[in-house]
């Protein structure tokens, strides 16, 4: 087969690491389609149930890939390679996407490319769409990667050179928001609910504990405990405390999380001298966090890169751009390489 690079590079990307089944098609680095099926089945449980996630991926994978190809107007035979998230994530969920991608790549006689989910989130800034060109961060840049499973400051010197210079030593920022939301009796996932309520609340109404740990690392477990004890004490006085104050609680909690995230990021900018700063991961959809970035830009302190909402949560477009770069470098994945549930970038 001829993989010479004067031909169009057309990547089909598949992402199934958690509870979103997503497929995307990218031609020469420009996104043609990105189709994602979410899984409402987990809402009743207040968190992702791994077994239910794998079953839903099984049901969704064929229609999602089919739709992505149709939307892009690309046939299977035109594909140059298939990129897939090999990890980290839930093993049962990953296996669905990885097995499907391997089977399809073998049947079409084209290379398989592996993508690291976290690396994908960081490269989401490089996704280009027809008629919607935007500035991409120059190397080196710092990326605040904040999701339900990660809170990291990453120094990015090339698409495949990403160094974690700070990270959470316990809970992730999104996890803390989700857990606090659960304690308040709100729905799942809590992050978007807290975001919505916070817009009507007073962020100065309450203050919660902030960690005091050295270096560029984060900690969110103390905040979660302080929030829990605060509610417990208030509920003893007033059983309706949460209902009567949920907007102020959400705004104060959100402000604390954003302050914690930004303090270490400011420190990282100072330490590295890098003032190109990007935001990635599910929590990057948060209004207060986005505003905190915009404030730094308006103050002339940083050049900032904030992803489109559709590329904040899990999506295959970010796997497609990772796949595109790797294809150009001829970095293919052996078919016997297994999925992995845990690893760093
Ligand atoms: O990246 P992601 O979709 O999944 C992984 O964790 O890999 O991130 C999900 C996290 C959840 O914790 C969710 O509550 C949070 O992102 N999230 C938000 C918002 N939208 C999603 N947190 C705060 N504000 C939001 N608008």
pLDDT for 1 equals 46
174, 312, 314: residue to mutate for ligand 1 pocket, most atoms within 8 A of CB: 174
In CATH, what number is assigned to the domain containing residue 266? 3.30.420.40
Looking at the fold, whether 177 and 252 belong to one and the same domain comes out as yes
Query: What region does 78 belong to: left with phi over 0, alpha with psi -120 to 50, or beta?
Result: alpha
Find out whether 163 and 153 touch, Cβ atoms under 8 Å.
Answer: no
253, 281, 283, 318: residue to mutate for ligand 1 pocket, most atoms within 8 A of CB: 283
Looking at the fold, whether 130 and 146 belong to one and the same domain comes out as no
**Pocket-forming residues, ligand 1, beta carbon under 6 Å:** 18, 147-149, 174-175, 177-178, 189-192, 195, 281-283, 285-286, 313-314
pLDDT for 293 equals 98
pLDDT for 2 equals 47
Task: Tell me how many domains the chain contains.
Answer: 2
Looking at the fold, whether 122 and 28 belong to one and the same domain comes out as yes
Nearest to 15 by CA among 121, 111, 108: 121
Looking at the fold, whether 180 and 120 belong to one and the same domain comes out as no
Query: What region does 73 belong to: left with phi over 0, alpha with psi -120 to 50, or beta?
Result: left
Look at residue 129 and tell me if it is in a domain: yes
For residue 163, what are the contacts with CB-CB under 8 A and spacing of at least 6? 154, 155, 156, 157
Looking at the fold, whether 180 and 92 belong to one and the same domain comes out as no
Looking at the fold, whether 85 and 150 belong to one and the same domain comes out as no
Q: Is 97 exposed, middle or buried (0-12, 13-18, 19+ CB in 10 A)?
A: buried
Closest Cα to atom 20 of ligand 1: 192
Q: Is 205 exposed, middle or buried (0-12, 13-18, 19+ CB in 10 A)?
A: middle
Q: One digit per residue, pLDDT tens: the chain, 345 residues? A: 444 557 999 999 999 999 999 999 999 999 999 999 998 888 888 788 899 999 999 999 999 999 999 999 999 999 999 999 999 999 999 999 999 999 999 999 999 999 999 999 999 999 999 988 888 999 999 999 999 889 999 999 999 999 999 999 999 999 999 999 999 999 888 999 999 999 999 999 999 989 999 999 999 999 999 999 999 999 999 999 999 999 999 999 999 999 999 999 999 999 999 999 999 999 999 999 999 999 999 999 999 999 999 999 899 999 999 999 999 999 999 999 999 998 766
Look at residue 195 and tell me if it is in a domain: yes
Cite the DSSP H helix spans in the chain. 50-72, 91-108, 117-123, 173-183, 190-198, 221-237, 241-272, 287-298, 317-328
Residue 74 and residue 76: Cα distance in Å, rounded?
A: 7
Looking at the fold, whether 155 and 75 belong to one and the same domain comes out as no
What domain range includes position 99?
Answer: 10-134+312-328
Look at residue 337 and tell me if it is in a domain: no
Residue 230 and residue 117: Cα distance in Å, rounded?
A: 36
pLDDT for 142 equals 98
313, 314, 319, 343: residue to mutate for ligand 1 pocket, most atoms within 8 A of CB: 313
Look at residue 211 and tell me if it is in a domain: yes
Closest ligand 1 atom, CA of 172?
12
**For the range 101-109, what are the long-range contacts, defined as Cβ-Cβ under 8 Å and sequence gap of 24 or more?**
101/14, 102/335, 104/12, 104/65, 104/76, 105/81, 105/335, 106/335, 108/76, 108/77, 108/79, 108/82, 109/1
The total number of residues shown for the chain amounts to 345
Q: What angle in degrees, to the nearest 10, is found between the helix axes of 173-183 and 190-198?
A: 80
Looking at the fold, whether 76 and 146 belong to one and the same domain comes out as no
Looking at the fold, whether 146 and 116 belong to one and the same domain comes out as no
Residue 17 and residue 31: Cα distance in Å, rounded?
A: 21
């Amino acid at each position: 087969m001829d993989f010479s690079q004067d031909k169009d590079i057309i990547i089909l990307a598949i992402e199934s690491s958690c509870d979103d089944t997503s497929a995307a098609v990218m031609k020469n680095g420009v996104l043609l389609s990105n189709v994602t099926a979410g899984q409402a089945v987990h809402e009743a449980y207040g968190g992702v149930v791994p077994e239910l996630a794998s079953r839903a991926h099984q049901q969704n994978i064929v229609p999602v890939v089919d739709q992505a190809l149709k939307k892009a107007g690309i046939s299977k035979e035109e594909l140059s390679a298939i990129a897939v998230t090999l990890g980290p994530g839930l093993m049962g969920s990953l296996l669905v996407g990885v097995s499907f991608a391997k089977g399809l790549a073998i049947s079409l006689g084209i290379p398989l490319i592996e993508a690291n989910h976290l690396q994908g989130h960081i490269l989401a800034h490089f996704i280009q769409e027809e008629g919607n060109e935007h500035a991409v961060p120059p190397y080196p840049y710092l990326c605040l990667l904040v999701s339900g499973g990660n809170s990291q400051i990453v120094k990015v010197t090339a698409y495949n050179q990403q160094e974690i210079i700070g990270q959470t030593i316990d809970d992730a920022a999104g996890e803390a928001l989700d857990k606090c939301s659960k304690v308040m009796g709100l729905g799942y996932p809590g992050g978007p609910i807290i975001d919505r309520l916070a817009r009507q609340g007073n962020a100065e109404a309450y203050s919660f504990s902030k960690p005091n740990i050295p270096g560029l690392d984060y900690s969110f477990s103390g905040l979660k405990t302080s929030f829990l004890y605060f509610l417990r004490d208030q509920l003893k006085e007033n059983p309706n405390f949460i209902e009567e104050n949920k907007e102020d609680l959400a705004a104060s909690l959100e402000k604390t999380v954003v302050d914690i995230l930004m303090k270490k990021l400011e420190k990282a900018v100072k330490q590295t001298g890098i003032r190109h700063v990007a935001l990635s991961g599910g929590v990057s959809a948060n209004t207060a966090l986005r505003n905190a970035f915009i404030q730094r830009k308006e103050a002339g302190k940083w050049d900032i890169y904030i992803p489109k909402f559709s590329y904040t949560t899990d999506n295959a477009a970010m796997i497609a751009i990772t796949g595109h770069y790797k294809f150009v470098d001829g970095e293919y994945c052996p078919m016997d390489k297994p999925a992995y549930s845990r690893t760093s970038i």
